[in-house]
Amino acid sequence: MCLVGLGRGLTAAGRQRREAVRRQAAELFEQKIKPLEVAVSG
């Protein structure tokens, strides 16, 4: 079983950062930004 994929192994702050990045990427995809541009925007 892969625990890292479930968020285990990250601190609460790490999970918050990951969620913020995930939401930002989702917003960019909604704007039809290309995946490569989303990947390098961070």
pLDDT in tens, 10-36: 888 998 999 999 999 899 889 988 888
Residue 35 has a pLDDT of 83
* Whether pLDDT at 7 is above 60: no
> Exposure pattern of 24-39 as b/e (b: 16+ CB <10 Å)?
ebeebeeeeeeeeebe
Contact 23, 36 (CB under 8 A): no
pTM, 2 dp: 0.63
* Whether pLDDT at 42 is above 80: no
